[in-house]
């Protein structure tokens, strides 16, 4: 048996019109093909061949994912572990007496394999009902503070789940996808892709396109996506992003200069990029960056208000400027004065550059009575504005005349440059300090991300990273909230993939995906989760102290794959609870499905944001409990496949509550992926 199950057809909305010069003859030939699926597939491929402009690449067969924790059952789709490049097969029958399974391919061919050589698998496009099984949480922030949500799972399926919870709700997506360097740095269909693969660029583009199309739907109308990339795929990603987001929504091509290396042949290299697009760039305000060293100067000036002598503060200010003169951005060094109100300022003359006879008037120093004649072309403002300036202490009188004070606290920001310098070794050292050892190559710099997050989105933003890696994005959000008191929420998706070296070593030792020994060294369990736990608690996995910790909340989940009967009967409530909690806003404690909740027939999240009613007949009891405690829930999820039962249960609750029947809303949300 050699024929694998056929890969799913691409969505019909991806069809491209045939070139007009070929339409008549090709349509005539295509019409003679009796198989409608084959006819449609050929039309699609011919249309793709007809493209002569823009980004042209081979749309590869859908990717697949192994589910080693799932039990092989009759009807399961499986991969044969002992067959290289195994296709997908259905389990027709199980023989309990000898532990074998009868497999069938798409043409009806049968073969027998031991069950222990099979792994349950899904192709992208198979119907998929996701859940979020909570693994653990860290609570050191305020009860109503956002909970940073960290998900271990395949990011395409996680994005599908987020379409249910966060469609049109995400302010910023930051991703650092595989760079496709040819050094086997990423997998496609469970295989590492290296420079010998002639289709590696097409596979990478197929891989990215599927994810970006969903990511776009998650963004708010004012949402922004930032995509890190290097020279290997920069130009292709730019063209792909133009297609997905629209050329008119391109915002910037940021250049991250690491100053390179003298070991390079032609140039020092060391340059990465961050492509920035908006969901609708016309709705966005411009980005503003805080001037370097400006906050420190303003803080020094405020010492006057704390009782320090102004002359002492003035001296400290100038010493700071002197010590940092090589690092000061243009213009900041001019702010070398502080007034009696602790305001740091520079000065500028008030002479008009244009001749304005109506602005020629005398100005009198109220302290000395000295009167100053206007300059030859007049002052810059009219008398009423000047009076306001003087009342606000913005005018300084010197022997030669009045000058204006420009306060630094009112000029703290500037348009950011698209080119910035930051050594990447800093991020590697930081992660090693956090973890106590080196566990992840080439992490991103959390300080760089903090800077751009601060510029791009508001302080209450939802920030998603679906190539979460070592967890840098979540750490950046946590630290940024700690600095400015923001309530940003990070949603991070990472798989539990191992390095190629660790994967080979563990397989040689007899371990396979799904084994505890194997999973323990995956990036989620070995790096991401312990890193963020350490940042928040201040304690490393080995018990040593890293820091005092930070005031933040985080919950760690595993993406699960559920079957429809489990959902309808309520047997998957523990996994659904996490998803419903995230849909309701992801704040406060998650919904706990414990013995008491099952006895009551309902469960309420700790924050009161959401409730799950899994026994519709207990709706009145839930409504009465909420009324007696004064809790006002925002979302109510009712587990029932009956419209009448759902409507009757919902009638017990106020109209302002968002009520969803799980069978009607949750299941239908994922039926769209069904191939048939």
pLDDT at position 13 over 70? no
Number of residues in the chain: 676
Which pLDDT value is given to residue 366? 94
Most confident of 13-22, 194-203, 666-675: 194-203
Which pLDDT value is given to residue 7? 36
Region 511-533 average pLDDT: 93
Per mean pLDDT, which range of 51-60, 223-232, 564-573, 612-621 is the poorest?
51-60
Mean pLDDT of the chain: 87
Q: How confident is the model at residue 327 (pLDDT cuts 50, 70, 90)?
A: confident
- 336-354 pLDDT, tens digit per residue, is 999 999 999 999 999 999 9
- 142-182 pLDDT, tens digit per residue, is 988 999 999 999 999 999 999 999 999 999 999 999 887 76
- 427-451 pLDDT, tens digit per residue, is 999 999 999 998 888 899 999 999 9
Which pLDDT value is given to residue 255? 95
Region 201-218 average pLDDT: 92
pLDDT at position 502 over 60? yes
Which pLDDT value is given to residue 24? 43
**Distance separating alpha carbons of residues 213 and 167, to the nearest angstrom:** 12
Q: How confident is the model at residue 100 (pLDDT cuts 50, 70, 90)?
A: very high
Token readout for 205 is: 């583009």
pLDDT at position 664 over 80? no
Please tell me which residue, 570 or 49, carries the higher pLDDT value.
570
Which pLDDT value is given to residue 405? 97
**Residues 100, 104, 108, 109: is their CA dihedral positive or negative?**
negative
pLDDT at position 61 over 60? no
Q: At what angle do helices 23-31 and 36-49 cross, to 10 degrees?
A: 160
Q: How confident is the model at residue 262 (pLDDT cuts 50, 70, 90)?
A: low
**Distance separating alpha carbons of residues 606 and 25, to the nearest angstrom:** 65
Region 229-254 average pLDDT: 95
Q: How confident is the model at residue 499 (pLDDT cuts 50, 70, 90)?
A: confident
Q: How confident is the model at residue 241 (pLDDT cuts 50, 70, 90)?
A: very high
Per mean pLDDT, which range of 113-122, 536-545, 580-589 is the poorest?
580-589
Q: How confident is the model at residue 570 (pLDDT cuts 50, 70, 90)?
A: confident
Q: Three-class SS of residue 533?
A: helix
DSSP letters spanning 400-452: TEEEEEEEGGGS-EEPPPSEEE--THHHHHHHHHHHSS---SSPPPHHHHHHH
Residue 385, number of CB atoms within 10 A of its CB: 12
Q: How confident is the model at residue 23 (pLDDT cuts 50, 70, 90)?
A: very low
Which residues partner with 175 through β-bridges?
Answer: 227
pLDDT at position 48 over 90? no
DSSP letters spanning 27-68: HHHHHT---HHHHHHHHHHHHHHT--SS-----PPPPEEE-T
Would you say 4 and 87 are in contact if contact means Cβ atoms under 8 Å apart? yes
Which pLDDT value is given to residue 19? 34
- Contacts for 424 with CB less than 8 Å, ≥ 6 apart: 258, 442, 445
Of 428, 427, 447, give the one whose Cα is nearest residue 290. Answer: 447
According to CATH, the superfamily of the domain at 129-288+416-556 is Vaccinia Virus protein VP39 (3.40.50.150)
Which pLDDT value is given to residue 265? 66
Per mean pLDDT, which range of 84-88, 465-469, 637-641, 645-649 is the poorest?
84-88
pLDDT at position 238 over 70? yes
Which pLDDT value is given to residue 195? 62
CATH code at 1-16+51-126: 2.30.30.140
**What percentage of the chain exceeds 70 in pLDDT?**
89
pLDDT at position 308 over 50? yes
Which pLDDT value is given to residue 198? 62
Region 667-674 average pLDDT: 67
Q: CA-CA distances (angstroms) from residue 53 to 19, 22, 656?
A: 12, 17, 51
pLDDT at position 137 over 50? yes
Q: Are strands 462-465 and 344-349 parallel, antiparallel or unpaired?
A: unpaired
End-to-end CA gap in the chain: 24
Give 460's Cβ-side CA count (13 Å radius). 5
Domain ranges in the chain?
A: 1-16+51-126, 17-49, 129-288+416-556, 294-414, 583-671
**Distance separating alpha carbons of residues 339 and 343, to the nearest angstrom:** 6
Which residues partner with 610 through β-bridges?
Answer: 635
Which pLDDT value is given to residue 323? 94
Which pLDDT value is given to residue 9? 34
Which pLDDT value is given to residue 193? 61
Region 670-676 average pLDDT: 56
- 588-644 pLDDT, tens digit per residue, is 778 888 888 889 999 998 777 889 998 999 999 999 999 998 888 888 999 888 889
**Distance separating alpha carbons of residues 376 and 372, to the nearest angstrom:** 12
Please tell me which residue, 353 or 672, carries the higher pLDDT value.
353
Which pLDDT value is given to residue 574? 87
pLDDT at position 22 over 60? no
């Amino acid at each position: 048996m050699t024929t694998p199950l056929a890969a799913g057809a691409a969505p019909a909305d991806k069809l491209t019109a045939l070139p007009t010069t070929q339409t008549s003859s090709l349509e005539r030939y295509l019409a003679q093909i009796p198989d409608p699926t084959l006819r449609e597939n050929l039309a699609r491929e011919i249309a793709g061949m007809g493209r002569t402009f823009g980004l042209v690449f081979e749309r590869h067969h859908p990717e697949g994912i192994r589910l080693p924790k799932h039990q092989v059952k009759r009807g399961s789709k499986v991969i044969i572990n002992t067959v290289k490049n195994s296709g997908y097969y259905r389990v027709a029958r199980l023989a309990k007496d000898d532990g074998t399974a009868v497999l069938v391919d798409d043409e009806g061919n049968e073969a027998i394999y031991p069950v222990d050589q099979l792994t349950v698998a899904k192709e992208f496009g198979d119907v998929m009902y996701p859940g979020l099984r909570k693994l653990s949480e860290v609570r050191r922030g305020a009860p109503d503070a956002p909970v940073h949500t960290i998900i271990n799972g395949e990011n395409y399926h996680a994005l599908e789940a987020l379409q249910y919870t966060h469609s049109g709700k995400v302010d910023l997506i930051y991703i650092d996808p595989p760079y496709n360097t040819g050094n086997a740095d990423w997998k496609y269909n469970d295989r590492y892709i290296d420079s010998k693969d002639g289709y590696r660029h097409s596979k990478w583009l197929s891989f990215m396109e599927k994810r970006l199309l969903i990511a776009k739907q998650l963004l708010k109308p004012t949402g922004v996506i930032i995509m890190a990339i290097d020279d290997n795929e920069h130009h292709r990603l730019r063209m792909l992003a133009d297609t997905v987001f629209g050329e008119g929504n391109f915002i910037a091509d940021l250049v991250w200069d690491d100053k390179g290396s003298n070991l390079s042949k032609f140039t020092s290299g060391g340059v990465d990029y961050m492509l920035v697009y908006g969901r609708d760039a016309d709705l966005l305000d411009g980005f503003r960056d805080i001037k370097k060293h400006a906050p420190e100067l303003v803080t020094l000036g405020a010492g006057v208000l704390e009782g320090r002598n102004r002359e002492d503060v003035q001296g400290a200010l100038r010493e700071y400027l002197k010590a940092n003169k090589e690092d000061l951005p243009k213009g900041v060094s001019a702010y070398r004065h502080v007034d009696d109100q602790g305001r740091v300022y520079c000065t500028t003359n008030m002479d008009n550059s244009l001749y304005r006879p109506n602005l020629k008037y005398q100005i009198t120093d109220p302290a000395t009575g000295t009167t100053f004649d206007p300059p030859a072309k007049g002052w810059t403002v009219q008398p009423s504005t000047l009076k306001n300036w003087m009342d606000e202490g913005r005018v300084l009188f010197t022997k030669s005349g009045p000058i204006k004070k420009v306060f630094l606290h009112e000029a703290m920001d500037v348009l950011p440059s698209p080119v910035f310098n930051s050594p990447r070794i800093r991020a590697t050292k930081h992660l090693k300090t956090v973890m106590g050892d080196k566990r992840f190559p080439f992490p991103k710099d959390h300080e760089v991300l903090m800077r751009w997050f601060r510029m791009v989105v508001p302080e209450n933003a939802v920030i998603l990273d679906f190539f979460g890696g070592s967890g840098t994005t979540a750490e950046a959000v946590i630290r940024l909230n700690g600095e400015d008191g923001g309530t940003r929420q990070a949603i991070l998706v990472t798989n539990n993939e191992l390095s190629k070296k660790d994967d080979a070593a563990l397989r040689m030792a007899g371990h396979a995906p799904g084994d505890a020994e194997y999973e323990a060294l995956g990036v989620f369990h070995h790096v991401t989760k312990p890193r963020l736990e350490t940042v928040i608690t201040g304690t490393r996995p080995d018990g040593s102290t890293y820091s005092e910790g930070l005031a933040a909340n985080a919950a760690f989940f595993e993406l699960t794959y559920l079957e429809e009967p489990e959902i309808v009967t309520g047997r998957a409530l523990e996994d659904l609870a996490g998803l419903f909690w995230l849909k309701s806003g992801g704040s406060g404690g998650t919904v706990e499905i414990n013995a008491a909740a099952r006895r009551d027939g309902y469960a309420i999240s700790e924050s009161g944001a959401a409730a799950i009613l899994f026994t519709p007949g207990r709706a009145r009891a839930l409504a009465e409990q909420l009324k007696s405690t004064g809790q006002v829930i925002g979302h109510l999820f009712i587990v029932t496949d009956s419209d009448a039962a759902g409507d009757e249960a919902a009638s017990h609750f106020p109209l302002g509550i968002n009520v969803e029947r799980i069978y009607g809303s949750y299941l239908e949300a994922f039926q769209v992926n069904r191939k048939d």
